[in-house]
Amino acid sequence: MRYLSTRGGVEPVSFSEAVAQGLAPDGGLYLPETFPDLASELNDWASLSYPDLCHAFFRKFATDLDDEDLRKAIHSAYKNFSDPGIAPLVRLNESWQVLELFHGPTLAFKDFALQLLGNLYELQIKRTGKKLCVLGATSGDTGAAAISGLLGKSGVKVFILYPDGKVSPLQERQMTCTGAENVFPLAIEGTFDDAQRTVKELFGDLAFRESIGLSAVNSINLARILAQSVYYLYAWLRLDPAIRNQTTFVVPTGNFGNVFAGWLLTQMNVPIGGFRVATNKNDVLHRLFDSGEYELGSVSPSLAPSMDIQVASNFERLLFYFLEGNSQRVREVMNCFRLEGRYAFENFSIPGFSSSCTTDKEIPEIIGNVWNEYQYLVDPHTACAFKDLPKDQPSVVLATAHPAKFPQVFEDAGLKIPISPVLEALLDRKPVKHRVDVNPSSVRSFIESKF
């Protein structure tokens, strides 16, 4: 299996190369050249454990990796999850179930991809002997999960930019209290999008990229997307076969990586009912699905900070399929969007997608209602998924983070404050962070000073 760029400017590459590079050299995102047809596998796969399912799925894509290496990388990635089911389904009522994705080491769904990515990087380094420098921007959870996945891995240095004061105090502690020598959390003045732009520009500097072996852990990395497809498949296989094809996955959404990972399965002949894109008040994607207009707003901090995003990087991947693989058109749209901050599609509609947006006022109300009705605590991101969710619609709500990561929201709303021993333990450790100006040359100098 080979991988092509959404912008069509590079020769297709192997799985390992796509993973090592993250962003393609032409500025595009990698996608598989073709899709495996999973229809005939689904029966056999229904009885597999989570790691075995993940392995069976990745064998279709990671065709240049040694199978036993791949198996070990996957099994060790999911060893540190605290729930034996890895991604358990919890029923709330006749129609609704919650897919709990917060049992990994940093208590958010990003662990599913980043625990595995850390192991894939290790394989890569073992094979090529080349060291890697991982650079990413985070609005909170990605940084913590990336750091946890790459902690102490030899041959890897990790630099994570985050907006100072705009991630939750616990998220910041998860990034800064690791004690690891290969990890550098960089606090910047500005928003997540400022951090993301700087990271993108550094990736555009090909000489720099080559010289230090730069790789991306943002959800632009294809391995992350594929690792996330697995829990949709795992959940889908556990649904009542009578309603599988009508079940909607409801996905708290920021960069569009998570929901895109689910949608990819529909391209592999897994008949999923639909996807509901749940945004917070930063509603660029809700407006897109509503009106066909993709228009940049300004980011405003919300109670669901990991979704405070206006440029949804992974949208480019969906766009590629929407434009029927025409990379010339992808470049035009992305260019227009970059220059003018908006693009109006004439008839934007993708079967199976719906959307919602939730204000900060509504988030604590929803948390309270879900608690009162089902004695179930949801975090502020997951809360967005319940906005206007029809009671009779068979739905799987993705719970993207553990509620204990955001105690302030519960305290302010006078609600029961959730706790987690994993987070309590962080309070005793000393934070280490670095302040850097949010421009490519300052960040580059900082990175170079660590080599």
Ligand X SMILES: *Cc1c(COP(=O)(O)O)cnc(C)c1O
Which residues belong to the active site? 110
DSSP structure class, residue 436: -
Q: Mask: binding to ligand X, 394-433, rule CB under 6 A, as x and -?
A: ------xx--------------------------------
Amino acid symbol at 384: C
Query: Residues, the chain, total?
Result: 451
Residues whose CB is less than 8 angstroms from the CB of residue 11 and which lie 6 or more positions away in sequence, other chains included: none
Residue from 110, 173, 317, 387 that binds ligand X (CB under 6 A)?
A: 110
Stretch that binds ligand X, among 26-34, 89-97, 247-255, 355-363 (CB under 6 A): 247-255
Alpha carbon 434 to chain centroid distance?
A: 25
Q: Mask: binding to ligand X, 307-346, rule CB under 6 A, as x and -?
A: x---------------------------------------
Cα 12 from Cα 391, distance rounded (Å): 45
Instruction: Give the number of C-alpha atoms closer than 13 A to the C-alpha of residue 195, restricted to the C-beta side.
Output: 30
**Shortest approach of ligand X to residue 314 CB, angstroms?**
7
Cα 94 from Cα 246, distance rounded (Å): 14
Residues whose CB is less than 8 angstroms from the CB of residue 41 and which lie 6 or more positions away in sequence, other chains included: 56
Residue from 174, 215, 219, 280 that binds ligand X (CB under 6 A)?
A: 219
**CA dist 359 to 50, 220, 364, 378, Å?**
35, 27, 10, 16
Binding residues with ligand X: total (CB under 6 A): 16
**Shortest approach of ligand X to residue 406 CB, angstroms?**
9
Contact flag: residue 108 with ligand X (CB under 6 A): yes
Stretch that binds ligand X, among 248-256, 321-329, 409-417, 440-448 (CB under 6 A): 248-256
Contact flag: residue 258 with ligand X (CB under 6 A): yes
Alpha carbon 424 to chain centroid distance?
A: 25
Residue from 50, 61, 232, 256 that binds ligand X (CB under 6 A)?
A: 256
Contact flag: residue 168 with ligand X (CB under 6 A): no
DSSP structure class, residue 127: H
Strands 96-100 and 342-344, bridge-based pairing = unpaired
Nearer Cβ to ligand X (108/423): 108
Residue from 111, 141, 193, 308 that binds ligand X (CB under 6 A)?
A: 141
Contact 53, 234 (CB under 8 A): yes
**Shortest approach of ligand X to residue 144 CB, angstroms?**
9
348-387: contacts with ligand X (CB under 6 A): 381
Any alpha helices (H) in 238-391, and if so which ranges? 257-266, 284-291, 315-322, 327-340, 362-374, 380-384
Contact flag: residue 282 with ligand X (CB under 6 A): no
10-39: contacts with ligand X (CB under 6 A): none
Residue from 149, 185, 252, 407 that binds ligand X (CB under 6 A)?
A: 252
**CA dist 76 to 28, 87, 149, 215, 269, Å?**
31, 16, 11, 22, 29
Residues of this chain that interact with ligand X (CB under 6 A) are: 108, 110, 141, 219, 252-258, 306-307, 381, 400-401
